């Protein structure tokens, strides 16, 4: 996902723009936010998560990597409603595995709420796009991760809130504001 983000930033030549904001919703341990800040140091990176324990881990991980990230606790996009005033790019690797799917042993060590996303795996993405539809400042671009059988449904969810699919790369999708 970060590689696709880097390509996007390079193609838009925004890396030198100090107003570039990148938002990681559902940050978990902070891996996406931290990698993004390491790769695009000029960007302001903001990360949210509903779980205060995840945010504590993410904050420590950011400190360990020497990067400054603004961490906010809240439900998906809600803590950002009044905070974002410039165009921004949203990155999110939200839980997307359907509830009844089996997962490998490595993933089984993770909390279930960090893996499973409802009967079809897209419940949390539905909530995110619904929240995005209510904010005055829309993301110019949204990068998501989902399984290939979910792509068609996710595209419809995004389209219903004003986004079109710009690029689909295996598990990662790039949506653009219409």
CB 61 within 8 A of CB 30: yes
- pLDDT over threshold 50, residue 15: no
Record the pTM: 0.89
Mean of pLDDT values over 141-166? 95
Domain 94-178 sits in CATH 3.40.50.150: yes
177's tokens: 């504001």
Report the chain's mean pLDDT, rounded to a whole number.
Answer: 88
Structure tokens at 37: 């800040």
Same fold yes or no, 19-74 and 94-178? yes
19-74, superfamily in CATH?
A: Vaccinia Virus protein VP39 (3.40.50.150)
Q: Taking the domains of the chain in order of start, what are their residue ranges?
A: 19-74, 94-178
């Amino acid at each position: 996902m970060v590689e696709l983000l880097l390509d996007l930033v390079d193609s838009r030549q925004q890396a030198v723009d100090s107003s570039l904001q990148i938002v990681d919703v559902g940050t978990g341990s902070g891996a996406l936010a931290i990698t993004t800040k390491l790769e695009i140091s000029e960007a302001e990176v903001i990360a949210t998560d509903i779980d205060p324990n995840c945010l504590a881990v993410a904050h420590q991980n950011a400190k360990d990597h020497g990067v400054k990230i603004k961490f906010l606790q809240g439900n998906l996009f809600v803590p950002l409603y009044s905070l974002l005033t410039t165009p921004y790019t949203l990155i999110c690797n939200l839980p997307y595995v359907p509830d009844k799917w089996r997962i490998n042993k490595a993933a089984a060590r993770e909390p279930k709420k960090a893996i499973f996303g409802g009967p079809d795996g897209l419940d949390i993405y539905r909530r995110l796009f619904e929240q995005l539809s209510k904010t005055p400042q829309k993301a110019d671009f949204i990068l998501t991760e989902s399984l290939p059988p979910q792509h068609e449904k996710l595209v419809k969810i995004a389209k219903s809130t004003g986004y079109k699919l710009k690029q689909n790369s295996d598990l990662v999708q790039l949506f653009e504001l219409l």
